[in-house]
């Protein structure tokens, strides 16, 4: 993608009472793509979103949203961006449908409100005051409010946290639709599979800095080894298998008849293993290529200790 990024963040710093929440963050969101922003609790994701949305002052660094300064040019940006934060932004007594209609009326070409309400399963609670909605319903209303104005860019801070599976799927569909419509999406989430599934690019943030970024499949491919497992008769000659494999591969019999090959698992390595099986009269009962998931990558990069 060669067009100008929808969001450019360079050297962003934010401190709260001497505590550094964002520590020199660099991040770019490609226009028209979904960027998943991942990070442990307290990594600075929400703070970054709030700064991009013009709700907070950065202490240092440069932030450009659709080419503009999110604070100084907030009025010009407001009709062009949608924001869903983890909480707040709704008057507690406002009824769900009224609130959405009100937001829609502030925009020049809003989405039709009723279909959006139905799509997010809010039809039965349209007349319910915000404070009486369940947590998941409040989340869905916040999502509807973020997208109803047909924004060019949407910030979604943990949109699926606490949602039931149906609402989660409806949210994923909505995010896919936004992408199809060319909307740029920043999505923060703790669900690695969700990020892997929905994002064109992923950025992993830790302690206020970007520690990795790229398309999810690229992040999963790089770094540590993948593995290939197969089952066959017990006691196969793994030393001879190892000799057939590229250097730095390993081959072990984990339990009788269960074998694991690690290394740079690519189509060539798969062909080497299957041709070794053919030469040795082995018909594997099962053969699986295990690739690292985004969760594996995340834990490798950010560690397994609780923050």
Q: What are the residues binding ligand ATP (CB under 6 A)?
A: 16, 21, 39, 41-47
Q: Maximum Cα–Cα distance for the chain, whole Å?
A: 74
Shortest approach of ligand ATP to residue 185 CB, angstroms?
A: 17
Closest to ligand ATP by CB, 207 vs 242, is 207
Shortest approach of ligand ATP to residue 210 CB, angstroms?
A: 12
Closest to ligand ATP by CB, 5 vs 44, is 44
Closest to ligand ATP by CB, 50 vs 201, is 50
Shortest approach of ligand ATP to residue 140 CB, angstroms?
A: 19
Closest to ligand ATP by CB, 189 vs 262, is 189
Closest to ligand ATP by CB, 39 vs 263, is 39
Cα 80–chain centre separation: 22
Shortest approach of ligand ATP to residue 157 CB, angstroms?
A: 7
Strand partners, 157: 188
Evaluated on CA atoms 103, 105, 111, 116, the torsion sign reads positive
Closest to ligand ATP by CB, 45 vs 209, is 45
CB-count burial class (<10 Å; 0-12, 13-18, 19+) for 270 = middle
DSSP E strand boundaries for the chain:
7-16, 19-29, 34-38, 60-65, 81-84, 153-157, 184-188, 201-206, 209-214, 226-231, 250-255, 258-263, 286-290
Q: What is the dihedral of CA 90, 174, 147, 219, to 10 degrees?
A: 100
Shortest approach of ligand ATP to residue 16 CB, angstroms?
A: 3
Contacts of 29 (CB under 8 A, 6+ apart): 5, 6, 7, 35, 153, 184, 186, 201
Closest to ligand ATP by CB, 57 vs 127, is 57
End-to-end alpha-carbon separation of the chain, Å? 35
Shortest approach of ligand ATP to residue 46 CB, angstroms?
A: 3
Query: E strand or H helix at 259, and its extent?
Result: strand 258-263
Shortest approach of ligand ATP to residue 186 CB, angstroms?
A: 12
Report the C-alpha gap between 71 and 253 in whole angstroms. Answer: 60
């Amino acid at each position: 993608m060669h067009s100008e990024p929808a969001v450019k963040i360079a050297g962003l710093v934010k401190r709260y009472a001497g505590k550094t929440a964002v520590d020199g963050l660099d991040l770019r969101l490609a226009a028209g793509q979904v960027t998943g922003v991942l990070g442990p609790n307290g990594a600075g994701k929400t703070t970054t979103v709030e700064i991009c949305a013009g709700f907070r002052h950065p202490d240092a660094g440069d932030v450009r949203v659709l080419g503009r300064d999110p604070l100084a040019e907030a009025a010009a940006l407001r009709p062009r961006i949608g924001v869903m934060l983890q909480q707040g932004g709704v008057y507690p007594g406002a009824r769900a449908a009224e609130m959405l209609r009100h937001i829609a009326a502030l925009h020049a070409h809003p989405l039709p409100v009723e279909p959006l309400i139905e799509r997010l399963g809010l039809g039965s609670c349209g007349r319910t005051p915000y404070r009486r909605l369940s947590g998941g319903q409040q989340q869905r209303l916040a999502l509807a409010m973020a997208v109803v104005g047909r924004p060019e860019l949407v910030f979604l801070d943990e949109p699926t946290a606490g949602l039931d599976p149906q609402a989660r799927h409806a949210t994923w569909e909505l995010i896919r639709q936004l992408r199809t419509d060319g909307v740029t999406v920043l999505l923060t989430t703790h669900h690695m599979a969700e990020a892997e599934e929905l994002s064109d690019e992923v950025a992993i943030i830790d302690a206020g800095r970007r520690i990795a970024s790229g398309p999810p499949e690229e992040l999963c491919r790089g770094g540590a080894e993948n593995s290939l497992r197969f089952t066959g008769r017990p006691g196969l000659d793994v030393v001879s298998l190892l000799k057939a494999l590229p250097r730095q591969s390993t081959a072990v019999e984990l339990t009788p008849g269960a074998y694991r090959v690690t290394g740079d698992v690519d189509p060539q390595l798969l062909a080497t293993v299957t041709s070794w099986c053919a030469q040795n009269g082995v018909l594997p009962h099962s053969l699986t290529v295990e690739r690292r998931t985004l969760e594996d990558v995340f834990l490798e990069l950010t560690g397994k200790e609780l923050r």
